[in-house]
Every structure is written in structure tokens, then in C-alpha cells.
Amino acid sequence: MRHALWLLLLATLPALAGKACVDCHAGAAERSWALSKHGVIARIEAGRERRRTPDCAACHAFEAKAPAPQHYAKKTSRTEAREQATAGCGTCHSPRYVAEQLAAAQRGLTIGEMKRREAEALVEVARKELTATELAQIEKLFATLRDDNLRELRLGLAHQSPDYQWWLGQAALDGSLLRIKGALGEARRSAAAAR
Amino acid sequence: MRPRWLLIPVLLSIAGIAAGMAWVDWSKGGAGSGLYSREWRPDPVQGYWDPERFYRPAQTVAGVYPAAECIACHEALTPGVVADWRDSRHSKPARRAPVACPDCHGADHQKLRMPTPQVCGECHAVQEQAFNSEKHYGFPSHVLAMERATDSKHFVDKPKGETTACVQCHSVATKCDSCHTRHRFDAAEARRPEACTTCHSGPPHPDDETYYASAHGKRYLADAQKTDWSKPLVKGNYTVPTCAYCHMRNGQHVVADKSIWQFGLRQVNPNTAENKVKRDRWVEVCMDCHDEDFSRRQLTDMDRERALAWQGLNRTERLLRELRSEKALYPAAGERPPYPTDWMDRMFPKERIGFFEGQASSFYNVSTIERDYFEMWYFANLGAYKAAAHGAPELVKQGHAALAQEEQSITAQAAQLRAKARAPRPDPKALWLGGEYTMHNKEHN
């Protein structure tokens, strides 16, 4: 019954998903999905009778009675949202495959959060040591790391986009982290030179 | 008569070369792929990306099943998969029995396998042979994508939960469904440029952006829905070239046979005898629609674009090498985490500057100026290269503007580093060798 509802939902999704969502969620949210295999197939096969892959509503409103995409992540706990979002994966993938993908995503995100915390600790140190001008540069780098790099990693992991996971995610986090270290190190050198 | 002692260095050299080759062979003989195959311990999900080496059957169900029984169960369990298979040519081939579940996965549920290129090659031998023939052209190529990626130091060094992101794309070497998604395995799908863009996108290889910005790409976007993609990729069947049309001539599963500029990663002489052969192959492709002069001119323009890009890259690389010699880099190689598995790096730390020193791994745990050069080489340079190769002149301009801007910024930083070189130098180790992620990276590789 669950699978029948899933297929029914997939068949009726065009009205719910795609354009309507992208009107507000353009940019990284849309592109990270569009570049995933799910997004590629959905784009290539737009207009076909049977939809093979999930789009926005298929995961974010996985409840056949939902009249329109619901923002589950905001309305429910993160665990519940994830359960609802992944319930449909089993239509095509084995439980082990789904579990491995989710575990891999969790590991990737955990590492991303470690980078954020390492950077945050450095910013705390910088707030105590540096002048306002020096600090502003570091605060800006940290904002990029937290608000752009980490967000893009999360989107890449959730939407299965390798590019967002890696170059715009982990490798970008590495870049922001080393630049924070670099800026703090240079400020310390300048301070030592001034003494 | 020559003195006998001259033989000693000759014999030692021969022994050294033989020992080196034996060491490389031994290094590649482990469970993983590439030079670090004995050390590389990937995440469990790698079983799906490199099934031959890492897939282990779940062993949840016992029994040997014919296709009809697989389908009966999976129609309820994974209906999407069965529906895809029913839509595929595998379910209804013209002159033979259907290719069904046991043909690719095996019939014994305790010993199920994930299909590798070798499994697909049991029927698609021509495609598999062509795919394997890419080894002849070296890397970059699809067939060596996994092996050469895992040769990079950051693959073996970084936590595997991180590099899992990379192997999804590099698995193009180890399974066929990167391009022909399961379970429809449709050639028509792989002929469309979108099929390539999951991996061929993003800062180092914006193939999608540059192609769609070109006249070819614009025509594709206009014509895609009215084109019959079931036709073979041969002259006359298509009004517009796509990735596969140009890079996989006549549908051959070879993308590296025309690789003149080596992905833009290193400077090459584009007019060697080998590259002249490759150049003729390109011209032959272009001449499906354009005349020969026009086609050759595009390639010459490409040579000029590359030469210009490398002028700036070489200047900047020289500057970084000078800073290294002057010990002006801060932190220097010994003051930041080494690659833990590399004893040479631990004993003789050295900044990796330039393609041949392993610059591809120099994007983390390096000084800001080195990362900036990495981005100049890997992002701005490859962006310009892809734009030139795909015929997107506006993006070529943008790419070269980015290259110039980054060179200028790196030159300014270099001046500051030199100015500070004689000033007091606080030990940067505390800043660079500690921290939550840095320690995790050190302990989990």
C-alpha cells in the first residue's frame, strides 16, 4: 500500500514540485538537486508518463495526502523529517543501500561540523587577541564557512550531488579554515613585529 | 677496455629500477586500488562505488532464484527498479531471451554481486574493450579514474567519510551505471549532456556551464525535446553536438583518445607527433558540420588560449618556488600537518608546488598563498580551459580575468611575505597542528 501511494504521488507530482519550489529555493538548493542523478533523470525525462526519480515534493512532502509541499524539516523533529524524507528511497533502493548512504552522509556532515567547530574556536581566540579591523576579516571568513560552505555540504549530502559535497562543501570548508588560520597567524606576526 | 667498476652503477641502476617496479606492483596489490591499495580503508559505502573490490552481499535471504521469482518479490519490495527494468531493452531484447536479474546479479541470494564493467562486458564486449583501451592514453581518462584518484595523497590521508564524496564520480571506472543509470541502462540517456553533468560540473570542471553557454549548448537547449535520442551517435543523426557526440566518436566508449591539452592540468606541447594525430581526430569530428579550415582554426585558438594561461601560471608558480627557497612561506611545510602515511613528507617536509610535485593535494593544511595558487590553477585555469574547449568566448574572458586577478593578488601577498621574512616569526605550530578536525584527520586516515 505504501509503495502504491508512493507511485501515485510520483505520478502526480509535477503540479507539486519543480517550478513551484524553485521560485523560492533557487540557487544552491535547486542546483545541488539538479546535478544529482535524481535531478538529471528528472530533467531528461520531464514529460514522461512515469517518473523515475524523486523531485522536491517527493522527499520533502512524502505523504500522499499532502495537498502541497510541506516544510517538514521546520514542522517536525529532524529525525522525523529524515524518516519521512527517506521513506520513499526504498521504492528503488535496498534498505542496506539507503542505510549506507545515510550513514555516509552523516559521517560527511560530522566532519564538516568538526571543521566549523575548529574554526569557531579560532574565532573565539581572535576576538580576544585582535584589533577590530583584523577581526573583521576573520569574522567574514567564518561567516562564509558556516553560512555558505557548510550549507552547500549539507545540500550536497542530502541531494546526492558530488560537486556540492566536495568542491563546494568539504574542500571549500578546508579553504575557509586554512584562511582563518592564515589570517590569525599573520596578525600574530604583525603584533610580534610591532613589539 | 673499460674498467669493470663502470658496470657497478649500471647494475645498481637496473636493480633499482627493477626494485622500484616491484614496489609499485606490491603497493597496488592490496584490497583497494592505486598506490595506497594496502593502506586505503574506505567507508562501507565504497562497496557500491567499487563493487569488484569492496561489495559484500547482505546475505539476508537464502536460496537460489530464477528471474520470475526475483521479479515477483521485488515488484513489491522495490517496484521502481522493476518498472525501470520493464522499460529497458534488457526486458525485451529483439532476438534473445530477456536479460534479467540473475544474469547480472547472480541467482544465489547469499552471493549476490553488483555488476562491474566486466559483468556488463559479458554481453557488451565491444564497449568494454573500448573502455579498457583508454588505459593506453593514461590519465585523465574514465577507465583510470578510480585508480589514479586514490593515488593522490589526500585520498589516503583524509578521513574516508570525507573522500566518499569524491569516489562517487571516480566510480565511473568501476561500474557502468554512472552514465547508464539503473535499471533502464538507456543509451539514449547517456547521449544527453545532462548525464555527464553530475560529475562534470563545479569549480574545477565547469563543463556544464561552459557547454550550455556555447552556441552548441544553446542549440541543444532549444532542440533537446524534439530530438530523437535513440539514434546512434553518427554523422547526420543529430543537429547539434553533445558531450558524447564529440568525446565518444561514433559512440565508442573512449573519451581520452583526443586529449591534447590533458584536461588543462599541465602545460603540454600541443604539436607533438601524438598530438597531431589527436588534432586530426578532433578535426574529423568538427568536420561533421564545419569545414576543415574553420575546424583547425578553433584548435589553434585553443593552443593560444592555453599558452596565454600558462604564461601567468608559470610566472606565479615561479614566484611560489622563490618564496619556498627564501623560506618566506608561513607556515612552512614542517610547521603544519604532514601526510601521515608519507614517511618522506614527515622526514623531509617540502611544500608541493606544481603539478609534478603533487599540487593536486595542496588544497588543505597549506598556507593561504599556496591555497590561492591551487585555486588559480585548479579553478580559474580549468574554467578558462573548459570555456575555450567548449566554445564559450565570454567565459574564456571571465576565466582569464580571474587568472589575472589571482596572479595580482598572489603577487601582492608574496611582497608582504617577503617584507615580513626578516621580522620575528612566532611559531605557527600551535595554530596549525591542533584543533578538532585537524586532530581527527591525523587519527583517521
Cβ separation of A182 and B368 shorter than 8 Å? yes
Give mean pLDDT, residues A144-168: 96
- Co-location of A135 and A155 in the same domain: yes
**Residue B111: Cβ within 10 Å count:** 11
- Co-location of A144 and A177 in the same domain: yes
B contact test, residue of A8, A44, A149, A177 with most B CBs within 10 A: A44
- Co-location of A67 and A115 in the same domain: no
Set of cell numbers at residue B162: 570525507
The distance of Cα A93 from the centroid of its chain, to the nearest Å, equals: 21
* Axis-axis angle for helices B436-443, A95-129 (nearest 10): 130
| Chain B residues 405-434 with CB within 8 Å of chain A | 420, 423-426, 428, 431-432
DSSP element (H, E) containing A10:
helix A2-12
Domain count, chain A: 2
Domain boundary among A90, A108, A136: A90
A37 in B contact zone (CB under 8 Å): yes
Using CB atoms within 10 A of its CB, is residue B4 exposed (0-12), middle (13-18) or buried (19+)? exposed
Q: What percent of chain A has pLDDT over 90?
A: 59
- Co-location of A40 and A116 in the same domain: no
Whether residue A137 has pLDDT greater than 90: yes
Set of cell numbers at residue B426: 612566532
Closest CA to B177 of B90, B60, B70: B90
Give mean pLDDT, residues A14-20: 53
- Co-location of A85 and A171 in the same domain: no
- Co-location of A33 and A82 in the same domain: yes
Question: Over the range B409-443, which residues count as b (16 or more CB within 10 Å of their CB) and which as e?
Answer: ebeebbeebeebeeeebeebeebbbebbbbebbee
**Per-residue pLDDT tens over the stretch A60-113:** 776 544 444 445 445 556 676 667 667 788 889 998 999 999 999 999 999 999
Q: Which range marks the domain in which residue A148 is found?
A: 96-194
- Co-location of A40 and A81 in the same domain: yes
Whether residue A2 has pLDDT greater than 70: no
- Co-location of A59 and A115 in the same domain: no
> pLDDT band at residue A11, thresholds of 50, 70 and 90?
very low
Query: Which residues of chain B neighbour A165 with C-beta distances below 8 Å?
Result: 165, 168
ipTM (interface predicted TM): 0.92
Closest CA to B46 of B220, B162, B200: B162
Phi, psi of B64 (to 5 degrees): -110, 125
DSSP B342: -
| Chain B residues 189-218 with CB within 8 Å of chain A | 189, 192, 194-195, 197-199, 201-204, 208
DSSP B367: -
Closest CA to A181 of B335, B152, B301, B195: B335
- Co-location of A60 and A130 in the same domain: no
Residue matched to cell numbers 517496484 = B79
Query: Which residues of chain A neighbour B428 with C-beta distances below 8 Å?
Result: 185
Cβ separation of B436 and A168 shorter than 8 Å? no
CB hemisphere CA count around B26 (13 angstroms): 6
Closest CA to A158 of A91, A77, A95, A82: A82
- Co-location of A126 and A39 in the same domain: no
DSSP B412: H
DSSP B96: S
pLDDT in the model for residue A7: 44
The Cα–Cα gap between A188 and B11 comes to 54
- Co-location of A20 and A64 in the same domain: yes
Cβ separation of B431 and A181 shorter than 8 Å? yes
Cβ separation of A167 and B203 shorter than 8 Å? yes
Closest CA to B193 of B146, B232, B144, B242: B242
Domain boundary among A90, A113, A128: A90
Domain boundary among A73, A90, A107: A90
pLDDT, tens digit only, all 445 positions of chain B = 567 788 889 999 999 999 988 988 888 888 777 788 887 788 899 999 999 999 999 888 999 999 999 999 999 999 999 999 999 999 998 888 999 999 999 999 999 999 999 999 999 999 999 999 999 998 889 999 998 888 888 888 899 999 998 999 999 999 999 999 999 999 999 999 999 999 999 999 999 999 999 999 999 999 999 999 999 999 999 999 999 999 999 999 999 999 999 999 999 999 999 999 999 999 999 999 999 999 999 999 999 999 999 999 999 999 999 999 999 999 999 999 987 777 888 889 999 999 999 899 999 999 999 999 999 999 999 999 999 999 999 999 999 999 999 999 999 999 999 999 888 888 888 899 999 999 999 888 7
B64: which strand partners?
Answer: B108
Cβ separation of B194 and A43 shorter than 8 Å? yes
Give mean pLDDT, residues A12-41: 80
- Co-location of A114 and A72 in the same domain: no
Out of A40, A160, A166, the one facing B195 most closely (by C-beta) is A40
Are the C-beta atoms of B243 and B196 separated by less than 8 Å?
yes
**Per-residue pLDDT tens over the stretch A39-64:** 999 999 888 877 888 888 888 776 54
The Cα–Cα gap between B235 and B332 comes to 55
**Residue A50: Cβ within 10 Å count:** 13
